[in-house]
């Protein structure tokens, strides 16, 4: 380091850096040591709070060095300034902003409640998906489908699966929720742990609306995935396993929505299916949502669910009777047109 007299308060060591004072006559030799990688860099301090750094390349630690020198420079200026440190601190004091909400909803407790609700929704969803692929592919491989289809209409069969799996998934949610509540109760007794309840608990209609949207989402996804499972010949080797990730992709925007639930994109994804099955419950739990948006989202999700249910019945009736190969997508489109 050259020019140490311009920053007398600079210590020999500061943070991760060690400064070795040298005279100006040594600059040429020091530059050679930098080029030979014997020194990390040559720092020349100049009057007026300026400095020059000579290195082989722009160093990754440049930002750290600037912060260290800035702190030392501030101390130096305080020591040589007539302004008292207390006065300078008062001038630099940040503005303290106190926020008063007319209808507080999107607080930490509400966001945690929404995250828990979305996690429970995924638990129920994957529980149902597991049953779908186990039952449908098992029936197809055991060749039981011919007997069942001949005795029961395919639409009735698939409707029973959808309703039954939705009920199983809701039970999985309730069981997981009950286990969580028992844990919280035991934690309060054993460790005196307390939690802040979200304001949503005071409005059961919001919880009911969120649960209703989740249930509609189950009906939609289970109809869709039942049709996909019927198209598979062997679930272990089928390339159509990638459809299992679609429910996750549709739920991802719901977690992002928690950062800005009133954004235009969040309102739009909360209306259109299938993302509305996850985004709308998240918005209901963290912000005020007009009831017309909830109604419109429910109507659109029901309409799409009915279309998928009918298409799933047609696909299920034909695909369950096929063995040896999976039907191509062109065949599936032909079934839907001719049905």
Tens of pLDDT, residues 76-134:
777 777 777 677 677 667 766 665 555 555 566 677 777 877 887 887 778 777 777 77
Contacts of 114 (CB under 8 A, 6+ apart): 254, 258, 281, 282, 285, 286
Structure pTM?
0.59
Domain holding 259, by residue range, is 108-338
Question: CB-based burial of residue 37 (10 Å sphere; 0-12 exposed, 13-18 middle, 19+ buried)?
Answer: exposed
Same domain, 56 and 189: no
Same domain, 78 and 149: no
- Which residue from 21, 25, 15 is spatially nearest to 1, judged by alpha carbons? 21
- Tokens 């020591």 appear where? 79
End position of a domain, from candidates 26, 60, 90: 90
pLDDT over threshold 90, residue 296: yes
End position of a domain, from candidates 90, 121, 153: 90
Same domain, 164 and 82: no
End position of a domain, from candidates 90, 116, 133: 90
Same domain, 333 and 261: yes
Same domain, 112 and 86: no
Under 8 Å between Cβ of 63 and 55: no
Q: Residue 286: enclosing H or E segment and its boundaries?
A: helix 276-286
- State the total domains in the chain: 2
150 versus 267: which is more confidently predicted?
267
Contacts of 63 (CB under 8 A, 6+ apart): none
Question: CB-based burial of residue 312 (10 Å sphere; 0-12 exposed, 13-18 middle, 19+ buried)?
Answer: buried
Per the domain annotation, does 99 fall within a domain? no
Same domain, 67 and 118: no
Per-residue pLDDT band for 29 (boundaries 50, 70, 90) equals confident
Q: Residues 226-268: pLDDT tens digits?
A: 878 777 766 666 667 777 778 888 888 888 888 888 888 888 9
Q: Residues 159-188: pLDDT tens digits?
A: 787 777 777 777 777 787 777 778 767 776
Same domain, 152 and 71: no
Same domain, 58 and 195: no
Per the domain annotation, does 100 fall within a domain? no
- Which residue from 286, 225, 284 is spatially nearest to 250, judged by alpha carbons? 225
Same domain, 142 and 51: no
Q: Round to whole Å and give the CA distance between 36 and 38.
A: 5
Q: Identify the pLDDT of residue 306.
A: 87
Contacts of 332 (CB under 8 A, 6+ apart): 231, 315, 319
Q: Identify the pLDDT of residue 66.
A: 85
Per the domain annotation, does 203 fall within a domain? yes
Under 8 Å between Cβ of 120 and 214: no
Q: Please give the span between the terminal C-alpha atoms of the chain, in angstroms, as a whole number.
A: 84
């Amino acid at each position: 380091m050259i020019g140490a007299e311009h920053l007398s308060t600079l210590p020999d060591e500061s943070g991760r850096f060690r400064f070795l004072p040298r005279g100006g006559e040594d600059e040429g030799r020091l530059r050679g040591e930098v080029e030979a990688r014997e020194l990390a860099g040559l720092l020349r301090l100049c009057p007026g709070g300026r400095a020059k750094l000579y290195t082989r390349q722009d160093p990754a630690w440049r930002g750290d060095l600037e912060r260290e020198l800035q702190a030392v420079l501030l101390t130096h200026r305080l020591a040589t300034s007539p302004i008292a440190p207390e006065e300078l601190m008062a001038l630099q004091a940040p503005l303290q902003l106190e926020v008063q909400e007319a209808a507080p909803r999107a607080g930490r407790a509400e966001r945690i409640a929404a995250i828990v609700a979305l996690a429970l929704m995924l638990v129920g969803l994957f529980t149902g998906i597991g049953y779908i692929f186990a039952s449908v592919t098992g029936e197809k491989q055991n060749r039981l489908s011919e007997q069942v289809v001949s005795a029961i209409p395919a639409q009735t069969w698939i409707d029973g699966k959808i309703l039954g799996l939705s009920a199983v998934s809701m039970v999985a949610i309730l069981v997981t929720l009950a286990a969580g509540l028992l844990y919280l109760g035991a934690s309060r007794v054993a460790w005196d742990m307390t939690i802040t309840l979200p304001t949503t608990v005071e409005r059961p209609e919001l919880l009911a609306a969120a649960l209703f949207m989740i249930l509609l989402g189950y009906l939609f996804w289970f109809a869709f995935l039942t049709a996909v499972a019927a198209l598979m010949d062997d679930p272990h080797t089928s390339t159509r396993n990638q459809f299992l990730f679609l429910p996750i992709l549709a739920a991802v925007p719901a977690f992002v929505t928690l950062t800005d639930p009133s954004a235009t994109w969040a309102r739009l994804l909360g209306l259109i299916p299938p993302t509305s099955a996850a985004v709308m419950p998240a918005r209901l739990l963290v912000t005020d949502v007009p009831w017309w948006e909830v109604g419109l989202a429910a109507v659109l999700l029901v309409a799409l669910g009915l279309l998928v249910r009918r298409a799933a019945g047609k696909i299920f009736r034909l695909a369950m009777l096929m063995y040896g190969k999976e039907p191509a997508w062109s065949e599936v489109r032909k079934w839907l047109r001719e049905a």
